[in-house]
Structure 1
Amino acid sequence: GDVLSSLAWDFVSGQLAEKEVEYVCTIRDLLIMLGPAYIKLGQALAARPDIFSSEAMEELSQLYYAVPPFPTPKAIEIIEEELGANLSDLYTDFTSVPAASASIGQVYKAREKVTGLPVAIKVQRPRVLLTVACDLFLIRRLCVALRVVPQIPIDLVKLVDEFAVTFFKELDYVQEAQNAEYFAFTVKQLDRITVPKVYPSLTTRKVLTMDWVDGVHITACKEAEMEEMVREGIRCYLTQLLNTGFFHADPHPGNLMRTSEGKLAIMDFGLMTVVNEEMKYTLLEAAVNLYHRNYPALVQDMQALGFTSSRTEMRAMEGAIGAMMTELLTQEVDGTMSVTADFATLMKQFERLQREYGLVIPVSFVSLL
């Protein structure tokens, strides 16, 4: 109650921006206590530079690693009920402590009984579907009530509805298994990318079994290894974006690992995005217009892709983008363009454009950015 009243007062008095990070830290801890739907919503907001500053998003991103596990005996009960057999008949060397815990489920390491190969078993949290459905109903009701507040520049109801659609997709592990198999097929020509194999006979809507990946998360890599992984990641994601059109939409560091063979392992395929041909063409067109500094055409591309809103003054934004790019880009001797700013500076510039011209990030692009 104290947090909400203080938040409301600072919002009305125009002091919210000064205390944004402080409030976000408090809200982050509150989301963890409230449960899966709220944690997942916070994770989604951690990828929204059109809503929060980069500092606030960094605080929210801690939600990826701060989810408490549910009891292992309950996880074993779910595995046995879903797969119709005793745990010992399916796996050996099952670890009693989860290797990872997330908002929807948690992962255990074991060995597949027949082959003896190490596997990762993802188990969905008990009653998560019912819990999430109830929580999202309450969150949506709150957002409907907030529509009367003119100072809120975004449609919160639309945001929650878009979030709900993607969230419920992630609750079907059979679909995730199919996504993983198809994704592996689409990137098979990239020899430095690896996708863990799925075990269909040990997979249901609430249990997913895949090969265990030995390696380190990319955030723990040495600098040279990190640079190598970034190169492979860019190559892989450009292939998805401009070639296959089947896009891994949850590329946070917890889902990316460097294997002992030096490959980039991509995991967690509950959230995927399909990039249609029209979107591919417009993205390429936008890149060409940016390269040639054709900012009026670039703004038209942004409008076609859904980045503008009713608040956006198109003509004024053309000049603003031109001024920003003049500051950020340098023309080399050979005529090519290079970026002179780091990622943090780029994010700051986007935040400024968003505030001044009412830019939004369409749900289909949240994961791409």
Structure 2
Amino acid sequence: MIRFIRNSFRLLGMARILARHDALFPLALVPGGNVLAFFARLTAPFSRRSDLPPGRRLARALEELGPAFIKLGQTLATRADLIGDDVAADLSSLQDRLPPFPAKVAKRIITEQLGGPFETLFVEFDDTPVAAASIAQVHFATTPDGREVAVKVLRPDIGVRFARDLDLFYWVSELVELTQPRLRRLKPVETIKTLEDSVHLEMDLRFEASAASEFRDNFASDPTYYIPQIDWERTAEHVLTMERVKGVRIDNVEALDRMGVNRSALLAKAAGAFFQQVFRDGFFHADMHPGNLFVDETGQVSVVDFGIMGRVDRQTRLYLAEMLLGFLTRDYRRVAEIHFEAGYVPRNQSLENFQQACRSIGEPILGKELSDISVGRLLGQLFQITETFGMETQPQLLMLQKTMIVTEGLSRILSPNENMWELSRPLIEEWMRENLGPEAKIAEATRQAGSMLRRLPRVIEAAEQAAAVFTDQGLRLHPDTVAAMRGRSSNGQRKTGGISKQSILLWLAIAALSVALFMK
């Protein structure tokens, strides 16, 4: 009851801010949302109608509501199936910016976390942060040995604020699932769980440091794509220190042109690196906005901010590759089959109807000029047909789709007449050949055979144990059971009509028992 009262008042307060920005439309998903919207309009000061698009209005309201709501908006940007294409596109550019907290507070946190006098940690420290976001802010500094570094410091009390807001999000999503069965397949509670997991990882900067370290290892042999080195001695739960990178933002085309950087070659590097992240490594940077990518005079791309990362397992990568290949070659039958094989579409749905739906998505997009084809938009529209065919939401693919859209938008800034997927085509073809071609199938069969051979001694041992059970202890069956297995009645008379159903079931039970013993 206390939780209900607390969150009801907080929901009304949130609604009033939404009303002030004329962004009450998300309340349509909440039970009693229309009544809540009515009271919010009556009580909200300065409530007004806006000519801005709905997504822009919602973005402004979320920025005012604070850090957790900004993160929620960024999560919803991946859920076009919930809020629609246009709103999702507007939320994808939601700015994660907040006023900075004082430098003296940052220094206090650094001293407490790293356990030493501040002067022994940094000889220079810029009091003005270069970035201030919802979770943390970043200062440039210099270490005693002369290295220039970037120091990320978590906001004070951010954990308490997020915990309070996440409780509200869970409460609302639980109400939605309880009262609106048609929305359960969209997994609103699981969406908030994904947000919570992401935020918890972001609020322990050691995890971000670990992600950066893994990312750096993945691209250690690529001189064109640089990941800064972590200073582990100056990194703790609330402080992260890494090598400072220099250059201009990747979307500053005027500066790139002055530096003499070939933007077409730069796009090819970025496209290739993104493909390698997703398909080669299954570990990708999920916050690829231009503020996290910098380019120096040599054309080298440096990446920062590893708080939001995505993972895609190998089987999903194979499904995704075949799915995209099917779309690009207009093999909609194969696209539909992949969805059924992956379990994305329930087996009770019509394969032919889903094939037709895939064609309705692919043809309008693939009929465009090559430079206008957006794989991210294609995936977004594919996810929108989920309600018709009962597909369940795939959170890992939603994050990937959002990242694709951001990356494609960046590619159009760098070189509007080129398509990033065409530029990375050699990598795509090589990866497909290595993972989906005949050689790959032979290699997979060899791997599975090797795995079976490694398990063979255990299987033999289990078989010997099972044999001991049968021979030493005996498998005692009731005489009626034996008679039934032989197809006879309890009085010894043979039944007519061949093998009985009971006999088949008994033999299957014995077989299942044997398998269980062998595989134990």
Q: TM-score, normalised by structure 1?
A: 0.83
* Equivalent runs, 1:245-284 vs 2, <5 Å: 245-284=282-321
Given candidates 102, 105, 108, the residue that maps to 1:74 is 105
Find the residue that maps to 1:64 and give its secondary structure. Answer: coil
Compute the displacement of 1:352 (Å): 5.2
Q: Give, in whole Å, the separation in 1 of the partners of 2:78 and 2:293.
A: 16
Structure 2 residue runs of 5 or longer lacking an equivalent are: 1-14, 35-49, 402-520
Compute the displacement of 1:307 (Å): 5.3
**1:285 partner amino acid:** E
* Equivalent runs, 1:326-345 vs 2, <5 Å: 326-329=363-366, 340=370, 342=372
Q: Give, in whole Å, the separation in 2 of the partners of 1:229 and 1:252.
A: 16
Q: Give, in whole Å, the separation in 2 of the partners of 1:261 and 1:22.
A: 40
Structure 1 residue runs of 5 or longer lacking an equivalent are: 14-18, 331-337
| Other-structure match for 2:251 | 219
| Other-structure match for 2:61 | 30
Alignment deviations for residues 52-97 of structure 1 (CA, whole Å, 9 cap, x no partner) = 4454234323433432222222111111111122322211331111
Q: Give, in whole Å, the separation in 2 of the partners of 1:199 and 1:251.
A: 23
**Using a 3 Å threshold, how does the CA distance of structure 1 residues 350 and 367 change in structure 2: closer, same or farther?**
closer
Q: Does residue 287 of structure 2 align to residue 243 of structure 1?
A: no
**Using a 3 Å threshold, how does the CA distance of structure 1 residues 8 and 164 change in structure 2: closer, same or farther?**
closer
Compute the displacement of 1:197 (Å): 0.8
Contact 1:317 1:357 in 2 (8 A): no
Given candidates 159, 173, 184, the residue that maps to 1:129 is 159
Compute the displacement of 1:162 (Å): 1.6
**1:286 partner amino acid:** M
| Other-structure match for 2:144 | 113
Compute the displacement of 1:131 (Å): 1.7
Given candidates 297, 304, 321, the residue that maps to 2:334 is 297
Q: Give, in whole Å, the separation in 1 of the partners of 2:106 and 2:82.
A: 36
Higher alpha-carbon deviation: 170-179 or 318-327: 318-327
Higher alpha-carbon deviation: 195-204 or 156-165: 156-165
* Equivalent runs, 1:79-118 vs 2, <5 Å: 79-114=110-145, 116-118=146-148
| Other-structure match for 1:195 | 227
Task: Answer 1 or 2: higher relative contact order, Cα 8 Å, separation at least 6.
Answer: 1
| Other-structure match for 1:7 | 25
| Other-structure match for 2:80 | 49
**Using a 3 Å threshold, how does the CA distance of structure 1 residues 193 and 254 change in structure 2: closer, same or farther?**
same
Contact 1:328 1:340 in 2 (8 A): no
Q: Give, in whole Å, the separation in 2 of the partners of 1:187 and 1:297.
A: 33
Q: Give, in whole Å, the separation in 1 of the partners of 2:143 and 2:157.
A: 26
Contact 2:63 2:70 in 1 (8 A): yes
Q: Give, in whole Å, the separation in 2 of the partners of 1:10 and 1:169.
A: 31
Q: Give, in whole Å, the separation in 1 of the partners of 2:266 and 2:319.
A: 28
Higher alpha-carbon deviation: 170-179 or 98-107: 170-179
Compute the displacement of 1:253 (Å): 2.2
Q: Give, in whole Å, the separation in 2 of the partners of 1:85 and 1:76.
A: 11
Q: Give, in whole Å, the separation in 2 of the partners of 1:360 and 1:231.
A: 34
Find the residue that maps to 1:285 and give its secondary structure. Answer: helix
**1:142 partner amino acid:** V
**Using a 3 Å threshold, how does the CA distance of structure 1 residues 8 and 79 change in structure 2: closer, same or farther?**
closer
Identity %: 26
Find the residue that maps to 1:189 and give its secondary structure. Answer: coil
Compute the displacement of 1:310 (Å): 10
**Using a 3 Å threshold, how does the CA distance of structure 1 residues 300 and 103 change in structure 2: closer, same or farther?**
farther
Compute the displacement of 1:264 (Å): 1.2
Q: Give, in whole Å, the separation in 2 of the partners of 1:284 and 1:24.
A: 31
Compute the displacement of 1:151 (Å): 6.7
Bigger Rg, which one = 2
Q: Give, in whole Å, the separation in 2 of the partners of 1:307 and 1:325.
A: 18
* Equivalent runs, 1:145-160 vs 2, <5 Å: 145-147=175-177, 148-149=179-180, 152=183, 154-160=186-192
| Other-structure match for 2:500 | none
Contact 1:286 1:301 in 2 (8 A): yes
Given candidates 226, 234, 238, the residue that maps to 1:206 is 238
Q: Give, in whole Å, the separation in 1 of the partners of 2:25 and 2:155.
A: 32
**Larger helix proportion, structure 1 or 2?**
2
Aligned length: 355
**Using a 3 Å threshold, how does the CA distance of structure 1 residues 355 and 240 change in structure 2: closer, same or farther?**
closer
**2:223 partner amino acid:** D
Q: Give, in whole Å, the separation in 1 of the partners of 2:193 and 2:96.
A: 25
CA-based RMSD of the aligned residues comes to 3.2
Q: Give, in whole Å, the separation in 1 of the partners of 2:172 and 2:51.
A: 20
Contact 2:365 2:374 in 1 (8 A): no
**Using a 3 Å threshold, how does the CA distance of structure 1 residues 33 and 351 change in structure 2: closer, same or farther?**
same
Compute the displacement of 1:247 (Å): 2.2
Find the residue that maps to 1:214 and give its secondary structure. Answer: coil
Q: Give, in whole Å, the separation in 1 of the partners of 2:371 and 2:345.
A: 24
Q: Give, in whole Å, the separation in 2 of the partners of 1:237 and 1:43.
A: 20
**2:206 partner amino acid:** V
Find the residue that maps to 2:216 and give its secondary structure. Answer: helix
Contact 1:190 1:236 in 2 (8 A): no
Compute the displacement of 1:235 (Å): 0.7
| Other-structure match for 2:266 | 229
Q: TM-score, normalised by structure 2?
A: 0.61
| Other-structure match for 2:205 | 173
Q: Does residue 71 of structure 2 align to residue 40 of structure 1?
A: yes
Q: Give, in whole Å, the separation in 2 of the partners of 1:266 and 1:260.
A: 15
